[in-house]
Structure 1
Amino acid sequence: MSLPTTGRQYSFPELGSYNNLVVQDVPVAAPKANEVLVKTHAVSLQFRDLLVASGAYANSQAFPPNLVPCSDMAGEVVAVGEDVKQWKRGDRVSANFLLDKIYEEHNADIIASALGGARHGVLTEYRCFPAHSLVVIPDHLSYEEASTLPCAALTAYNALLSGFEPLKAGDTVLVQGTGGVSIFALQFAVASGATVIATSSSDEKLSVASKLGAKHVINYKKTPDWDEEVLKLTNGLGVDRVLEVAGNSTLQRSLNSVKISGSVDLIGALGGRVNVPPVDVVGPSVYKGLKIRGIFIGSVKQFKSMNKLLSGNIETTRPIIDKVFPFEEAKAAFAYLESQGHVGKVVIKVNE
């Protein structure tokens, strides 16, 4: 079967807004000796994609011109380079967010392999990937579901199950909000036998969290001192783990909520970086003997391990997709993500 010669692709002639996105037909490159050509079926969005689009993401001045956005995809192998032995036509795959992060350690060169930023991303019908950057997606997942794994799921897995001390049954976990990372963290914690406390500003979203297995939910609009509520729910001890996705805007309360010798995983800054209160990290960290760890996605090795967890807990860990947009409505998908009305993930269907 002959390869396609052209495919549709989104790119940014200039950063500043997702409304600057343009779609055009581009040539499809044949894979090099150690590459795999993949037909993209689905792309999921994350908060980082909004930052990249606005030009607010770190080192955006160093991004390649006419940047192709987005990092999270699932697709089908359509051709392999002459030196590639581990992949064949028809394999269902996802690419790791950091193309060259095979194991847990990373360096500046590996960070520079990030899709949808330092490297062109995946909002395109066809793309070549290094053979080492791909993983097989679980058989029970659709392409749309599998597209949610590279960032949101793997970040949650890295935080809870591949850190200083893997989560265990009986632990208590605090998750913030109902975005992609937090929902996956909730699901992985439930699958591990842990107790989950979830926060959100929406009772409707908290209802979803409860259905997914959260034992306790807190509306932080109605209970602004939610850290005090966490302590009440844990008999004054605090939780074993906190997944901090909002950043400095909530970090002080997270530090208050975690128990002595507990862990805080720093994942994002959804609460913004401007006009946020100062945080005393040193005091409570030293006094409580806390383990604080920054989480930057995960490795190919972790991705493969996570997929075993997904396949062994099919219903508990099935990805939650809020809405799927057609490829032609990519800008609408970005706008919907920006509205923060979603629970779980927002996905763009690229190819049938």
Structure 2
Amino acid sequence: MTSMPDKMMKQWIVQGTNGAESLHLREVPMPVPGDYEVLVKFHAASLNYRDIMITTGTYLWTARDGIVPGSDAAGTIHTTGPKVTRFTRGTRVSPIFHLTHLYGRFREQNFTSSLGATHDGIFQEYAIFNEQSCVEIPSHLSFREAATLPCAGVTAWNALYGGPRALKPGDTVLTQGTGGVSVFAVQFAKMGGAEVISTTSSEEKGEKLRRLGADKVILYTEDEKWGETAKRVSHRGRGADFIVEIGGAGTMGQSGKAVAIDGQIAVVGRRAERGFSRDGDGDGEGGTHSTSVSTIRRVLVGSRQLQEEMNVAMEVNGLRPVVDERGFGFGELREAFRYFETGRHFGKVVVDFE
């Protein structure tokens, strides 16, 4: 990969572990794609809790100092290398989260290709990718909507449809909170004909979840035994066939009480070490106290194949992501990070590049 010395672009980098104050904006030469590479011009990007962890030094895996942060974006192909066959100039695309995880089982070597941690991410005006590491975005979505999909969308899709057992009509799904993965899980579960039970912190958020299709909402602020409650109110009291577990140690106790026999707990985060976090992702109990025979499955986003399957399903069903009502510009990335940390958002926080 070479660069155009007379053409410059802006990018954010992370230096240090002081949260939003670790974000620094700089100008660098615009790169030129190689034979099998594409240059993507980004139009919008979204935040994930992982981005906060990287800027605070609390990320579970390796994050390189000086990294360009972020993993979820949508843009257009600006330039293609001479041997590229998957895309043409102007195609609307997103990069995938793990650039080498194209299909099948996640493997250890895929860790080194994660955007925004070991490989420069998307909070820059342009970026180079191998053509195999991009997917075309759903045709009915705007750039802002499509920018929410590569991490949160694919993670939720994988939790319900990518494991040893896929969601089927009539199953019961339990979601936690109102962050990006949880909201996507509600939408994907209802699209698949499931009963959905959701936990959240307030009646206001609960009403939004109901409008998305949640059949039952439990306020964890009023019910510390929400896992037991979820099992009791589920269809015929069976419990949840799928639990999208984002709290980690802080919520696994109640998740274990909510899960059905032969159910599946898809662990996708650790938002609540003790007690609920501000966006409703914990319960104050540690450990997995399940009386059911269930499967605990760690979900690490998902492959390109899963993302392409998700995109087709969204397109056919006309499903649109939930984007938080507050927007930010490219130069306001620090402000976006601070807002995201408050947990006041509903759905995905999006940054517009233009």
TM-score when scaled to structure 1?
A: 0.93
User: What are the Cα deviations for residues 220-274 of structure 1, in whole angstroms up to 9, with x where unaligned?
Assistant: 0011111221122124321211111111101011011011111111111011379
AA partner of residue 347 (structure 2):
G
**Residue in 2 that maps onto 1:328:** 331
> CA separation in 2, counterparts of 1:303 and 1:84?
21
User: Cα 1:277–1:225, aligned 2, differ >3 Å: closer, same or farther?
Assistant: closer
**Match of residue 250 from structure 1:** 251
Task: Give the 4+ runs in structure 1 shifted more than 6 A.
Answer: 273-276
Residues 43 and 122, structure 1, Cα contact 8 Å, conserved in 2: yes
Gaps of 5+ in 1: none
Query: Hey, what's the Cα distance between the residues in 2 that align with 1:341 and 1:274?
Result: 17
CA contact (8 A) 1:198 1:218 kept: yes
Distance 1:192 1:59 in 2: 33
Which residue is 1:177 aligned to?
177
CA distance in 1, matches of 2:65, 2:194: 45
CA contact (8 A) 1:64 1:120 kept: no
2:80 maps to amino acid? V
TM-score by length of 2: 0.93
Deviations 1:113-140 (A, max 9, x none): 0000011111000000111000000111
Name 1:239's counterpart in structure 2: 240
- The answer to whether the aligner puts 1:344 opposite 2:344 as a matched pair is no
> SS at the partner of 1:198?
strand
Q: How many residues align?
A: 341
Could you tell me which residue of structure 1 aligns to residue 312 of structure 2?
Answer: 308
In 1, the alpha carbon distance for the partners of 2:300 and 2:61 equals 16
Partner SS for 2:60: coil
User: Secondary structure of the residue that 1:109 maps to in structure 2?
Assistant: helix
Which blocks of at least 5 consecutive residues in structure 2 are unaligned?
A: 277-283
Cα deviation digits, residues 82-105 of structure 1 (max 9, x gap): 221111100000000000100122
**Mapping for residues 12-161 of structure 1, pairs under 5 Å:** 12-60=14-62, 63-161=63-161
Q: Secondary structure in 1 aligned to 2:228?
A: helix
Partner of 1:261: 262
Asked if the contact 2:34–2:81 (Cα under 8 Å) also holds between the matched residues in 1, the reply is yes
Q: Give the AA of the match of 2:8.
A: T
The percent of aligned pairs where both chains have the same amino acid is: 38
Alignment CA distance shift 1:92-1:242 (3 Å): same
Q: What RMSD in Å do the two structures reach over aligned CA positions?
A: 1.7
2:256 and 2:288 in contact (8 A); partners too: no
Looking at structure 2, the residues matched to 280 and 31 of structure 1 have their Cα atoms a distance apart, in angstroms, of 48
Q: What does the per-residue CA deviation read over 1:150-185, in whole Å, with 9 as the maximum and x for residues that have no partner?
A: 011100001101212111111111000110000000
2:264 alignment partner AA: S
Residues 264, 293 of structure 1: 8 Å contact kept: yes
